[in-house]
Amino acid sequence: MNTFAVGLLTLLFASVSLAAPQSISPFQIEGDYKGSGLSVRTIVLDLESKHIAISSGVASGACSGSISGVGTLVGNVLRFKPYKPFEGSDNCTMTITFGSKGKTATVEENECSAYHGAACGWEGQSVSKIRVP
């Protein structure tokens, strides 16, 4: 194999490994997280299937909201829909992206305004783990 082909294969394998999502154990993300006006609690329901129960609350002044559900951890991303959907919130999806060791996370929402007031929400909020069960 010539030098060009070896270099091309090396570049290809490097780009594939960089694109691979981080994978963390469900136990690394189990616990309580807090951020500015935001709390998240995660509980591992099934280790093999990576099913996780999530409860989250947000508050800013007089504005507050909460949401709970069950999701599946894929790599370092946990997505879930509300356990009890409100009318007109069928597309609500929450996404929690955990850091490589599960000690930090970013919480994002998609069409979940029915679960909080107009002056607060989960969009782009960061949290840090404060307690492990």
Q: Digits of tens for pLDDT over the chain (133 positions)?
A: 555 444 444 444 444 444 445 789 999 999 999 999 999 999 999 999 999 999 999 998 899 999 999 999 999 999 999 998 888 788 999 999 999 999 999 999 999 988 998 888 888 889 999 977 6
Radius of gyration for the chain, computed over Cα atoms and rounded to the nearest angstrom: 18
Cα 38 from Cα 100, distance rounded (Å): 21
- For the domain that residue 31 is a member of, what is the CATH number? 2.40.160
Predicted TM-score (pTM) above 0.85: no
Spatial contact of 66 and 49, defined as CB atoms under 8 Å apart: no
Q: Is residue 85 one of the residues assigned to a domain?
A: yes
**Residue 51 carries which side chain, given as an amino acid letter?**
H
Domain count, the chain: 1
Q: Check: CB of residue 103 under 8 Å from CB of residue 117.
A: no
Going by the DSSP 8-state scheme, the letter that residue 114 receives in this structure is G
The domain in which residue 46 lies consists of 22-131
